[in-house]
Amino acid sequence: MAQVNSFLQVNGLTRSVGDRVLFSDVSFGIAEGQHVGLIAQNGTGKTTLLNILAGRDSADEGTVVFRNGIRIGYLEQQPRYPMEMTVREAAHCHLRLSEMDEEEQQQVEVKSARILTKLRINDLEQPLSQLSGGQLKRVSLANVLTLEPDFLILDEPTNHLDLEMIEWLENYLSRSSMTLLMVTHDRYFLDRVCGLILELDNQSLYAYRGNYQYYLEKRQERIAAMESQISRAQNLYRTELDWMRRMPQARGHKARYREEAFYELEKVAKQRMEEKRIRLQAKSAYIGSKIFESEYVSKSFPMADGGEKVILRDFYYNFSRFEKMGVVGANGTGKTTFVKMLLGLVAPDNGRFVVGDTVRFGYYSQEGMHFDQQMKVIDAIRREAEYIDLGGGRHLTAMQFLQHFMFTPEQQQNYIYKLSGGEQRRLYLCQVLMKSPNFLVLDEPTNDLDILTLQILEEYLQDFSGCVIVVSHDRYFMDKVVDHLLVFQGDGRVKDFPGNYTQYREWERLRPMEENAKPSRTAKEAKDSKDSRGSRAADSAKRRLTFNEKREFQQLTADLEALEREKSAIVGALSGGEISVEEITEKSKRLPLLQRELDEKEMRWLELSELA
């Protein structure tokens, strides 16, 4: 897939791990300014390919050529920094501040601090050793965005970001003039940011010149064409098999080409079985009408400054039979604590959870994956159960169940230590489902799973006859699986919303307009604004700030500081409990308008900072 004006050209790339070929003779190019998504099943070499492109690993064969003089940024899936560094030092560690003048250094410092604030990293002097893995990933993301590379490689950039952060990053990257190559399981993110999709499949690479929706359409066309080819191959396969069986004595030199052709046909014909997957409709254990009741539960944690962080305050909820509920909210608002209290792993301060006698939980958590690495894949599942009930006297064996989740018979006999991180996550998911629970509690199940696995899991959950609670930042996944939401808004406030995530965001967007009777923009104005933003992003790579833009940039800096001060004052007043009802009403109306103004000015400031 050659490109004109390629920033990157890859030719004949091949890489194996042991006797397993990840990809073979892969060639592609990426042009300046393109936003490219890379899709592949776990264990097929996505991260290995990114590491090769970033110079962290090497290929067995082939070449990787970047245009001379371009600066490359790489967000790794597991960032590595010296733990004695502070957040501030890590956010600037790839920038040569000593080579900048005082004004340039100040701009970098301000931009870095703003991006870190958006990613909810506020203590710039905090040592990295005190951060969680998710916080470290966000610091690394701020680092590569502040670097403003010509070519940016991102490995799962949305992991450990909450929904607001993901939407901010989506908006930021879609406007950016940087050339992007990213691996992500977030399909809305792919659809809205990327204009070219590369798919690694069967050791080969396929290119789709469009977004994720276009990729789905064209991939289906490719599979349909392959189905026709495979059908023809199967007929030839039967003929050749008959010949191989009837004429073993004829396999001399003259017939060798037919023998080799037979093995090629066998390989093609077997692809049909790999492509064809039944829809798995597992029957959960019986669940009664009493599921669980949260009886006025309260929970808080002490904070270092002497205050307290409130998770729930007198929370009442009666969970209905067969409910499929999503739990969303910013990081740190208590979503995981809520499910742990439901499961009895954390005790409430007040109130209680009353769980029905027939409920059998299946819990998938981020920290719950523990395997004996010397155990075989099939043994890890058989340890849970020998088969899973499909109802009507039908069942799947452990081996068949693993095949449904894309573990081939050969992989099932492998030791667990040979699996990639994503494959081990998939195995952990199978382990939870194999226990035949009637109430699934899934905490961030989409992190580190490939898109094909997510599609299978979505089908499974849509057909699941029990109850489901999903904590996730994956908007696409939530839209397909859940029928209503609990939205954790912070400070113990929880909203029960009857709908999926996209419906909730639309409701949230329209609410301030309705409250303030502010007319929305026309479709033409919205399109003109979008076109204007797009042209600004395209122009940013070609020019510097004009005189008026410099003045605008300076004014935006002052405006943002003033708006941040106003926001802090409003938040302080609302939480202080010393203002009148009229003032509370007035400030509550002002806050969402203020936040929207902040977001708009901040995005414009970041656009101009790229030119500066």
- Residue 516 falls inside a structural domain: no
Tokens of 570: 């409003």
- Can you give the pLDDT at residue 537? 43
Asked whether residue 328 carries a pLDDT value surpassing 90, the answer given is yes
- Can you give the pLDDT at residue 539? 44
- Residue 285 falls inside a structural domain: no
Q: Are residues 526 and 477 in the same domain?
A: no
Q: Where are the alpha helices (DSSP H) in 447-500?
A: 451-463, 475-481
| Domain span including residue 474 | 292-507
Looking from the CA of 588 toward its CB, the CA atoms found within 13 Å total: 11
Angle ∠(572,578,580) on CA atoms, nearest 5? 110
Which region among 180-184, 275-279, 284-288, 371-375 has the lowest average model confidence (pLDDT)?
A: 275-279
Q: How many CB atoms lie within 10 A of CB 306?
A: 6
Asked whether residue 536 carries a pLDDT value surpassing 50, the answer given is no
Residue 275 — pLDDT band, cuts 50, 70, 90? Answer: very low
Residue 314 — pLDDT band, cuts 50, 70, 90? Answer: very high
- Can you give the pLDDT at residue 262? 55
Decide: 590 and 571 in contact? Cβ < 8 Å.
no
- Can you give the pLDDT at residue 101? 80
Which region among 11-25, 159-173, 220-234, 392-406 has the lowest average model confidence (pLDDT)?
A: 220-234
Compute the average pLDDT of residues 490-509: 89
Q: Are residues 472 and 451 in the same domain?
A: yes
342 by Cβ neighbours in 10 Å (0-12 / 13-18 / 19+) ranks as buried
- Residue 241 falls inside a structural domain: yes
- Can you give the pLDDT at residue 519? 52
Euclidean distance between CA atoms 185 and 451, whole angstroms: 6
- Can you give the pLDDT at residue 407? 92
The last residue of a domain, from among 169, 194, 216 = 216
Euclidean distance between CA atoms 407 and 380, whole angstroms: 13
316 by Cβ neighbours in 10 Å (0-12 / 13-18 / 19+) ranks as exposed
Identify the residue with better confidence: 593 or 253. Answer: 593
The last residue of a domain, from among 507, 530, 555 = 507
pTM of this prediction? 0.74
Identify the residue with better confidence: 474 or 517. Answer: 474
Residue 255 — pLDDT band, cuts 50, 70, 90? Answer: low
- Can you give the pLDDT at residue 369? 83
For the chain, what is the domain count?
Answer: 4
- Can you give the pLDDT at residue 28? 94
- Residue 286 falls inside a structural domain: no
Q: Are residues 480 and 575 in the same domain?
A: no
Q: What is the mean pLDDT of the chain?
A: 83
Which region among 246-260, 451-465, 502-516, 554-568 has the lowest average model confidence (pLDDT)?
A: 246-260
Compute the average pLDDT of residues 53-75: 93
Q: Are residues 80 and 201 in the same domain?
A: yes
- Residue 1 falls inside a structural domain: no
What percent helix, strand, coil does the chain show, rounded to 5? 45, 20, 30
Decide: 559 and 608 in contact? Cβ < 8 Å.
no
Name residues whose C-beta falls within 8 Å of residue 245's C-beta, 6 or more positions apart in sequence: none
Cα distances (Å, whole numbers) of residue 224 to 229, 230, 276, 337, 365: 9, 10, 12, 46, 37
Q: Are residues 532 and 497 in the same domain?
A: no
Name residues whose C-beta falls within 8 Å of residue 162's C-beta, 6 or more positions apart in sequence: 120, 329, 330, 331, 473
DSSP notation for 540-592? TTT----HHHHHHHHHHHHHHHHHHHHHHHHHHHHHHT-S-HHHHHHHHHHHH
Asked whether residue 540 carries a pLDDT value surpassing 80, the answer given is no
Tokens of 260: 């080799």
Asked whether residue 65 carries a pLDDT value surpassing 70, the answer given is yes
Supply the DSSP symbol for 143. Answer: H
Compute the average pLDDT of residues 57-71: 93
Name residues whose C-beta falls within 8 Å of residue 377's C-beta, 6 or more positions apart in sequence: 402, 407, 411, 412, 413, 414, 415, 416, 419, 427
The last residue of a domain, from among 466, 482, 507 = 507
Beta strands at 204-208 and 324-329: parallel, antiparallel or unpaired: unpaired
Q: Are residues 194 and 54 in the same domain?
A: yes
Asked whether residue 528 carries a pLDDT value surpassing 80, the answer given is no
Task: Supply the CATH number for residue 134's domain.
Answer: 3.40.50.300
Decide: 295 and 351 in contact? Cβ < 8 Å.
yes
CA-based radius of gyration for the chain? 27
Compute the average pLDDT of residues 209-219: 90
- Residue 556 falls inside a structural domain: yes
- Residue 347 falls inside a structural domain: yes
Asked whether residue 527 carries a pLDDT value surpassing 90, the answer given is no
Q: Are residues 182 and 236 in the same domain?
A: no
Supply the DSSP symbol for 211. Answer: -
- Can you give the pLDDT at residue 195? 94
Share of the chain above pLDDT 90, in %: 44
DSSP notation for 580-597? -HHHHHHHHHHHHHHHHH
Tokens of 385: 């159960």
- Residue 568 falls inside a structural domain: yes
- Can you give the pLDDT at residue 577? 60
Q: How many CB atoms lie within 10 A of CB 600?
A: 10
Compute the average pLDDT of residues 596-610: 78
Compute the average pLDDT of residues 23-43: 93
- Can you give the pLDDT at residue 534? 47
Q: Are residues 19 and 162 in the same domain?
A: yes
Which region among 5-9, 314-318, 382-386 has the lowest average model confidence (pLDDT)?
A: 5-9
| Each residue's pLDDT tens digit, 329-380 | 988 899 999 999 999 999 999 999 999 999 999 999 988 788 889 999 999 9
Q: Are residues 404 and 496 in the same domain?
A: yes
Q: Are residues 197 and 241 in the same domain?
A: no
Q: Are residues 260 and 199 in the same domain?
A: no
Angle ∠(346,306,339) on CA atoms, nearest 5? 20
Q: Are residues 347 and 403 in the same domain?
A: yes
